[in-house]
Amino acid sequence: MRIWYQSFVDEENGADYWRHLRAHMAAMADPGTEIVVHGITPYDNYAHPIVEYRCGREVICNAVRAEREGYDAFVVGHFQDAGLYEARTVVDIPVVGLGEATMLQALSLGQRIGIVTINTRFIPWFHHQLRKYGLTDRIVGVDAMQFEPGQILAAFDDAAKLAEVVRLFEDQARPLVERGIEVLIPGGGIPMLLFSAIMGHRVGEATVINGIPIVLKQAEVAVKLRRLTGLGVSRTGEYAKAPPEIIAEFMENPKGL
């Protein structure tokens, strides 16, 4: 199967990240799974809802392109999941999001979940996600380090900077653990990948979860279930599919003007 992995970083500005990401997913993928990483330009380099909105529009367009090009699944490889719900309304291939997939998996690992993201400006967005996903009773703590998305990329292949990110993450996570958080989610694909080399990563007794292999495996399973049973999203409500002419209009107007 072929999976389109939509990064919110482009290769020019995140070459080290992409190199590590490709290697990490290749090691986790089933035999016969091909994962193709695609970026967004300008990339998501500032933590703000308007940037998420811009990138989300690219996600929707690229999901359509992925289906037209014969991909079997589309992964939104960005924890904020911008464009996730809308992408499901325009294609029939499975669309899975890093944030949603990670949160749902975390629910099976503990009763009280916490998120530590890379910038405080992402916190309101995460609370919006939690309300949308119906998880406010289980994901009960959200805190943040203080990086812009582009800054944290510098920690790849730099042991000192990586150690600093790990320390800052644990400093923010420790008060959550003291309040009873059982599972910790690094709020972003970049910190998840940075921490992936830490086998059995914990803060105190709380598990730290890496969502990248989770979203990859969910995509593979979704493809297999679709082939075996025809399972797909419901078209009666949130994911009612847009008519072909509306999708064409959206695709023909890339800047939303």
For every residue of 56-77, DSSP letters joined together read: HHHHHHHHHHHHHTT-SEEEE-
Q: Are 112 and 244 in contact (CB under 8 A)?
A: no
pLDDT of residue 154: 80
The CATH class that applies to domain 2-218 reads: alpha beta
pLDDT of residue 219: 98
Quote the strand ranges of 149-210, DSSP E. Answer: 183-187, 202-203, 206-208
Question: Residue 142: beta bridge partners?
Answer: 115
pLDDT of residue 181: 96
Task: Retrieve residue 252's tokens.
Answer: 């023909």
C-alpha torsion 15→20→21→24, nearest 10? 160
Contact residues for 112 (Cβ-Cβ < 8 A; gap 6+): 138, 140, 141, 180, 181, 182, 183
pLDDT of residue 145: 86
Phi-psi region of 81 (alpha: psi -120 to 50; beta: other; left: phi over 0): left
pTM confidence score: 0.94
- Burial of residue 203, with CB atoms counted within 10 A of its CB: 0-12 exposed, 13-18 middle, 19 or more buried: buried
- Quick one: three-class SS letters along 241-254? CCCHHHHHHHHHCC
Give mean pLDDT in consecutive 10-residue pieces for the chain, a chain of 257 residues.
97 91 97 98 89 96 98 97 97 98 97 93 91 94 82 82 89 94 95 90 96 98 98 96 96 69
pLDDT of residue 256: 53
pLDDT of residue 152: 79
Q: What are the extents of the domains in the chain?
A: 2-218
Cα separation, 210 vs 101, whole angstroms: 11
